[in-house]
Amino acid sequence: MRMVEYIEVVAATATASTTRWELYRVLAEPVRLKLLALAAEEELAIGELALLLNESQPNVSRHVAPLKAAGLLLSRKQGTRALVRIAEAASVDPVVADALASGRALCEGDGSLARVAEVLRERDQVAREFFAQERDAAVFEPPDASAAYIAALARLIPSRKLAVDAGTGDGALLDVLAPAFERVVAVDRSEAQLARARARIAARGFTNVKLLKSELDAAELRDEADVVFASRLLHHAPRPVDLVKQLVRVARVGGAVVVIDYARHDDESMRDEADLWLGFEPDELLRLAREAGLEDVDVIRLPTAWCGKGKDAHLPWQVLTGRRATRKEKP
pLDDT of residue 329: 42
pLDDT of residue 266: 94
DSSP string, 143-202: P-THHHHHHHHHTT-S--SEEEEET-TT-TTHHHHHHH-SEEEEEES-HHHHHHHHHHHH
CATH assignment of 3-114? 1.10.10.10
Same fold, 3-114 and 146-324: no
Over residues 178-224, the pLDDT tens digits come to 999 999 999 999 999 999 999 999 999 999 999 999 999 888 899 89
- By the 10 Å C-beta count (0-12 exposed, 13-18 middle, 19+ buried), 160 is classed as middle
- What are the domain boundaries of the chain? 3-114, 146-324
Bin 48: left if φ > 0, else alpha if -120 < ψ < 50, else beta.
alpha
Strand order in the sheet with 162-166: 209-213, 183-188, 162-166, 225-231, 251-262, 317-324, 294-301
pLDDT of residue 143: 65
Q: What is the largest CA-CA distance in the chain?
A: 72
User: Which residues make Cβ contacts (< 8 Å) with residue 243, sequence separation at least 6?
Assistant: 216, 230, 233, 234, 237
pLDDT at 331 over 50: no
Q: CA neighbours within 13 Å on the CB side: how many for 6?
A: 6
User: Which residues make Cβ contacts (< 8 Å) with residue 211, sequence separation at least 6?
Assistant: 168, 186, 188, 194, 197, 198, 201
pLDDT at 3 over 60: no
Q: How confident is the model at residue 46 (pLDDT cuts 50, 70, 90)?
A: very high
Task: Work out the number of other CB atoms within 10 angstroms of the CB of residue 162.
Answer: 21
Q: CA neighbours within 13 Å on the CB side: how many for 39?
A: 31
Report how far residue 76's alpha carbon sits from residue 68's, in angstroms, rounded to the nearest whole number.
11
Over residues 141-176, the pLDDT tens digits come to 666 788 898 999 899 989 999 999 999 999 999 999
The terminus-to-terminus CA distance of the chain in angstroms comes to: 31
Q: How confident is the model at residue 21 (pLDDT cuts 50, 70, 90)?
A: confident
Q: Phi and psi (nearest 5°) for 169? A: 60, -125
pLDDT at 15 over 70: no
Residue 259: strand pairing partners: 230, 320
Looking at domain 146-324, which CATH architecture does it have? 3-Layer(aba) Sandwich (3.40)
Helix (H) or strand (E) holding 231, with range, is strand 225-231
pLDDT of residue 247: 97
